[in-house]
Chains A and B, each alone.
Chain A
Amino acid sequence: MEKYLNKTMNNEQTIDDLLAKYLANETDTHESDTISEWIITSEDNQKTFDHSKMVWDGAKNHQKVDVDVAWTKLNITKKKEVELIDIQEVKPVIKLNWLNDFLKIAAVLVFLFGLWFVAARQFTIPQNDVLTFKSGNKSIEKILPDGTKILLSKNSEITYSKAFVGDTREINLTGEGFFEVHHDAAHPFIIHTQGTEVKVLGTSFNVRAYNAQVQVIIKTGKVQFSKNNDEVILTKGQKGEILANVDTIIKSEVIEVETVTKEKLSSFVFNKMSLSKVAESLSKRFNKDIKFSQDKIKNCELTATFENEKLENIIAVIAETFNLKVDNQVDMIILSGDGCD
């Protein structure tokens, strides 16, 4: 092998140098030819080349990654996701989450949910023009005249004066909404709900008051929470609760806040489409693998329209239609059943 090479090139260059150079795309024409000739000279050479290529290709996978950077990145993404969970999935249990302490997110989230009924306070708006905005079966977004953004959850309603910005910005809420209040210290933003008042100064928060139970949890920022004569200032990590028939607000510490989010919704129209194709469409849109345990299911034909639905619901309908069992895993959905003939 060495002798062969010495005939055609510089003594100091061994076959491995040349192979490496070739694999790294650094050879000139003459060197490339030399290698090609060498490879086809014998089976052993071919094998050595193949092995070298495998080693070369395989090595690429072992680049070191920066785990610290990756962990930081993951946390930022993780927190964004946590803030955006569907209200239906929210549980009353408060979980320990000390990572909150590391959050640098400027957004303020305030979470209110009703505990029990209190007589509603009359709220009079100075002007005659009062606007009402209602959500139906799904959450909708609304931007107020001052730039405040509200994501209203299902079956909720807000009312406010047409002019809206006076000395204060006032709004009436029933149900639930996620607010991103436009910062304006000169004109406090006040929410009236179920006999209580939440006064904020340029923060974002979630308010839930379907009935008269009212609870406020602050993630960051500051909020003044009051009812009649009792008034507290709540800051990050604190919770204020109002119990019925008692005009005192109970203040305590909490750690994790859960709020409304915009769940990924999509619309589809399927006309006698095979489930295999349906699965492909859904997978692509929602970025989750959908597999079938039995091949015959793939041929079932679906005719249906889905408007602004979550993947979960769509799968549920499909499962119902064809009598399929759904196995919902972390990285994929598996459907099984008896097929359609």
Chain B
Amino acid sequence: MIQIPDSEILLAIRQGNERVYETIFRKHYQALCNYACGILKDMDDAEEVAQSIFLKLWEQREGIEINVSLKSYLYRAVHNTCLNRLKHLKIQETYRQYVGDYLEETFDSATEIMDKNELENRISNALEKLPEQCKIIFKMSRFEELKYQEIADKLGLSIKTVENQIGKALRIMRTELADYLPIIFLLLLK
């Protein structure tokens, strides 16, 4: 796979190259949404934020000056927008546990955001590594927020099986992430 340097990507976008713009959108969108969801706790809001970042990138493409990598830039923009949104929603207390001092703090370097992102990648990987049925059932519970009974009904299984599968998912992921969980802890306490 050929890697195009960021400077060329930015130049293309600045010149209004929609195809390049679409490529970076498709490349980063999912991950940026995941990142935003981590702060906002809601995927719909997260998508809105990610979209607004890309929209601004396009609208202001001519005047844009990026000194960090494109990826860092996008994450930082998403990060700031999310915090801003939280302030507006005045739900600081609810998220203080997770976000902690992030509300007052601004990242000094793009690398701080990147480190946290590595973590997110691992969680994503761990999730994908789950056995098929286990993964499906876990996702139905966690993402679609279905009750155990609803999942059991939908898949024609017993509740016991659903319980086992989700428990198994939890155990597998916890084991996968064992090395990194202490890090998550540190980030939370910061």
Q: Is B84 in contact with A283, judged by CB distance below 8 angstroms?
A: yes
Interface residues in A59-117 (C-beta closer than 8 Å to B): 59-65, 67, 70-71, 73-74, 77-78, 81, 95-99
Q: A71-B22, A71-B25, A289-B80 are in contact. Are A61 and B120 (CB under 8 A)?
A: yes
Q: Across the two chains, which residue of chain A brings its CB closest to B85? A: A287
B12 to chain A, nearest CB (A): 11
Q: Is B55 in contact with A81, judged by CB distance below 8 angstroms?
A: yes
| A-contact 0/1 string along B168-190, CB 8 Å cutoff | 11110110011001001100100
Set A52, A67, A78, A284: member contacting B170, Cβ < 8 A: A52
A279 to chain B, nearest CB (A): 12
B58 to chain A, nearest CB (A): 6
Q: Across the two chains, which residue of chain B brings its CB closest to A77? A: B55
Q: A81-B55, A97-B18 are in contact. Are A51 and B181 (CB under 8 A)?
A: yes
A175 to chain B, nearest CB (A): 26
| A-contact 0/1 string along B108-135, CB 8 Å cutoff | 0000000000001001101100000000
**A12→B159 CA distance, assembly (Å):** 12
B102 to chain A, nearest CB (A): 15
Inter-chain contacts of A78 with B (CB < 8 A): 55, 58-59
Q: Is A331 in contact with B80, judged by CB distance below 8 angstroms?
A: yes
Q: A55-B174, A70-B29, A330-B56 are in contact. Are A19 and B167 (CB under 8 A)?
A: yes
Q: Would you call A13 an interface residue if the criterion is a C-beta within 8 Å of the partner chain's C-beta atoms?
A: yes
Q: Would you call A16 an interface residue if the criterion is a C-beta within 8 Å of the partner chain's C-beta atoms?
A: yes
**A332→B53 CA distance, assembly (Å):** 12
Q: Is A58 in contact with B16, judged by CB distance below 8 angstroms?
A: no
Q: Is A60 in contact with B47, judged by CB distance below 8 angstroms?
A: no
Q: Would you call B91 an interface residue if the criterion is a C-beta within 8 Å of the partner chain's C-beta atoms?
A: no
**A24→B184 CA distance, assembly (Å):** 21
Inter-chain contacts of B16 with A (CB < 8 A): 95-97
Q: Is B57 in contact with A330, judged by CB distance below 8 angstroms?
A: yes
Q: Across the two chains, which residue of chain A brings its CB closest to B54? A: A74
Set A52, A61, A330: member contacting B174, Cβ < 8 A: A52
Q: Would you call A18 an interface residue if the criterion is a C-beta within 8 Å of the partner chain's C-beta atoms?
A: yes
Top-3 shortest CB links A-B:
A17-B167, A16-B167, A16-B171
A-B contact pairs, 18 of them (CB 8 A): A16-B170, A20-B166, A24-B141, A26-B147, A54-B177, A55-B173, A55-B181, A62-B123, A63-B43, A63-B143, A65-B33, A65-B43, A67-B29, A71-B22, A74-B25, A74-B54, A81-B55, A95-B16
Chain B residues close to A by CB (< 8 Å): 15-16, 18, 22, 25-26, 29-30, 33-35, 37-38, 41, 43, 47, 50-51, 53-60, 63-64, 76-77, 80-81, 84, 88, 98, 120, 123-124, 126-127, 138, 141-143, 147-148, 160, 163-164, 166-171, 173-174, 177-178, 181, 184-185, 188
